[in-house]
Amino acid sequence: MSGFGPRGMWYLFAFVSWFLAPGVLAAGEEGGFRVIEARTRLEAGVYRLDANIEFRLSAPVREALLNGVPLVIEIDMEVVEPRRWLPDKGVASLTQGYRLSYHALSERFLVRNLNTGARRSFGVLEDALLHLGTIRDFPLLDEDLLAPGRFYMAGLRAGLDIEALPTPVQMMAYVTPAWWLGSDWYTWPLKP
């Protein structure tokens, strides 16, 4: 005798559909983050970073944002000294966090730098995402941290912080690929 009657099977079907449907529906609704370019220059003893990152939100993420769910986007930066037979030696790493939220009453998108507290307001989501993806003159690293004559690599990536989502949304985000927004590492040589 089976433990599931017709009613139990319906509940099982509804439960499984609730988890699978968002992923199936979102399969054609592409989103993604991509580092287009990044470069550093030495100025007054500090390596300064300029970068362009493309942020495209998938339909479920965009819908959640428009319904009041704030998003935290993290931009990770690192400088390493590559080693041939050992793991790369970390020289510096930094995460710059931004909170993107939508205020329905004012119909404005607010971007807040979580490291500095600075805020900017935008009337259009695309303008807010463009602002997030434009990094200019960012102080990445002091020249004194690099040894002359050695070879270093700098890296940059961006991602949506699922851990920062409200718990009910977080649970859905873990099982829905449309929420897994993040770029690959973009790397370039950094010579002292």
Please report which confidence band the pLDDT of residue 100 belongs to, taking 50, 70 and 90 as the band edges.
Answer: very high
> What tokens were used for 109?
């998108």
**In this predicted structure, what is the pLDDT of residue 44?**
95
Its sign, for the CA torsion 37, 91, 131, 53, is positive
Burial class of 61 by CB neighbour count within 10 A (0 to 12, 13 to 18, 19+): buried
pTM above threshold 0.75? yes
**In this predicted structure, what is the pLDDT of residue 15?**
44
What average pLDDT is seen over the chain? Answer: 88
**In this predicted structure, what is the pLDDT of residue 1?**
46
How many angstroms separate the CA atoms of 26 and 23, rounded?
Answer: 5
**In this predicted structure, what is the pLDDT of residue 7?**
54
**In this predicted structure, what is the pLDDT of residue 6?**
55
**In this predicted structure, what is the pLDDT of residue 192?**
75
Please report which confidence band the pLDDT of residue 60 belongs to, taking 50, 70 and 90 as the band edges.
Answer: very high
**Among residues of the chain, what percentage have pLDDT more than 70?**
85
> What tokens were used for 93?
């790493």
Dihedral angle of Cα 2, 8, 10, 16, to the nearest 10 degrees: -90
How many angstroms separate the CA atoms of 73 and 103, rounded?
Answer: 18
Please report which confidence band the pLDDT of residue 29 belongs to, taking 50, 70 and 90 as the band edges.
Answer: low
pLDDT digits (tens, 9 = 90+) for 154-188: 999 999 999 999 999 999 999 999 999 999 999 99
Average pLDDT over residues 82-97: 94
How many angstroms separate the CA atoms of 172 and 69, rounded?
Answer: 13
Contact call for residues 113 and 96 (beta carbons, < 8 A): yes
**In this predicted structure, what is the pLDDT of residue 191?**
80
Give the DSSP H or E segment for 171: helix 167-175
**In this predicted structure, what is the pLDDT of residue 17?**
45
Residue 11 has pLDDT above 70, yes or no: no
**In this predicted structure, what is the pLDDT of residue 5?**
55
